[in-house]
């Protein structure tokens, strides 16, 4: 994927991405890479039928790693998980037995990446694709298995783990399963310690280009969500400790925003009808917040 298409995908400029790839295909109707890349663009737009058609055309012209990956992602989007697994398995035949390539393909298969460092992306796509097809448990198992392998990019693994855990936490929180949400957000926060202060949105921009992930604020989001979930679960002391831990790590420009967020969210978390009796806890927390100013 050339820089023009990649940058267009990162900023969601689909017309530009499609225009460039359409020109490439018009110039060479047998450009299997262009078809695969256009399949990725269609997948970002959730146009799964078109994504599958382009991926199928890519593989039909010339089977390749990127072709089978794009086909696997499209099949996951169409909820054809069994067929997607076959595509990812076929993709592994084109990794030149490079372990780093296999690791990243494994990650894709677990949740749904293609770039100039494709030789590091094989396993990651598998995990992401499965996650996006609602195969959450299998996806997280794959990420965990990969993280335990030797010679693996642990930061990449933890990035995928943190992002997917945040999604699971959001689902649990929206479903009123507050303790479960705490577990997921805590796992995400723990995983994020591997890339704290790292510019992972630049190192792993494939996740941004192909899946639209917001990696720039992943550490902040994981820890902030953990803090809020702790409040909703009634773990007020732990929530306050989580907040203090964040305040110790972030820069001065960010502290004011977090302080305001925490004050508002703590009151909102404690004042639903079923928790009205916790007003004294709010008073104590707000007093502690003011003391930190």
pLDDT of residue 37: 93
Say how far apart CA 88 and CA 121 lie, in whole Å. Answer: 12
Q: How far is CA 231 from CA 59, 165, 246, in A?
A: 50, 18, 15
Q: What percentage of the chain exceeds 90 in pLDDT?
A: 44
Rounded distance between C-alpha atoms, residue 53 and residue 228, angstroms: 43
Tokens of 169: 């936490």
Residue with tokens 């990725």: 40
Q: Are 45 and 14 in contact (CB under 8 A)?
A: yes
Contacts of 44 (CB under 8 A, 6+ apart): 9, 12, 14, 210, 211, 212
Give residue 100's pLDDT band: very low, low, confident or very high (50, 70, 90): very low
Residue 247 clears pLDDT 60, i.e. is over it: yes
Residue that the structure tokens 């298995």 belong to: 145
pLDDT band at 274 (very low <50, low <70, confident <90, very high): very low
Distance of alpha carbon 173 from alpha carbon 177, whole angstroms: 6
175 SS3 class? coil
Name the pLDDT band for 6 (thresholds 50, 70, 90).
confident
Core vs surface per residue 82-104: b (16+ CB within 10 A) or e = eebbebbebbbebbeeeebbbbb
End-to-end Cα separation, the chain, in angstroms: 48
pTM over 0.85: no
Most confident segment among 105-114, 153-162, 171-180: 171-180
Look at residue 2 in the predicted model and tell me its pLDDT. Answer: 80
The position carrying tokens 């479903």 is: 175
Q: What is the mean pLDDT of the chain?
A: 82
């Amino acid at each position: 994927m050339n820089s023009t298409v990649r940058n267009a995908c990162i900023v969601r400029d689909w017309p530009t991405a499609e225009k460039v790839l359409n020109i490439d295909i018009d110039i060479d109707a047998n450009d299997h890479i262009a078809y695969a890349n256009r399949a990725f663009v269609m997948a970002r737009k959730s146009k799964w039928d078109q994504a599958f058609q382009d991926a199928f055309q890519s593989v039909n012209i010339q089977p390749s790693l990127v072709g089978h990956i794009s086909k696997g992602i499209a099949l996951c989007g169409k909820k054809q998980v069994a067929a997607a697994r076959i595509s990812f398995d076929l993709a592994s035949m084109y990794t030149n037995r490079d372990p780093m390539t296999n690791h990243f393909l494994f990650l894709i298969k677990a949740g749904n990446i293609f770039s100039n460092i494709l030789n590091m992306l094989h396993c990651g796509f598998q995990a992401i694709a499965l996650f996006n097809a609602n195969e959450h448990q299998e996806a997280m198992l794959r990420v965990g298995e990969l993280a335990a392998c030797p010679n693996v990019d642990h930061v990449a693994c933890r990035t995928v783990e943190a992002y997917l855990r945040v999604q699971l936490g959001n689902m649990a929180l929206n479903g009123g399963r507050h303790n479960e949400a705490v577990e997921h957000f805590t796992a995400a926060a723990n995983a994020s310690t591997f890339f704290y202060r790292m510019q992972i949105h630049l190192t792993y921009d494939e996740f941004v280009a192909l899946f639209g992930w917001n990696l720039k604020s992943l550490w902040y989001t994981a820890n902030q969500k953990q803090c809020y979930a702790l409040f909703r679960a009634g773990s007020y002391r732990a929530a306050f400790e989580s907040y203090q831990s964040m305040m110790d790590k972030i820069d001065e420009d960010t502290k004011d925003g977090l302080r305001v967020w925490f004050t508002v969210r703590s009151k909102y978390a404690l004042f639903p009808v079923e928790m009205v009796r916790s007003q004294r806890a709010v008073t104590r927390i707000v007093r502690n917040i003011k003391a930190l100013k």
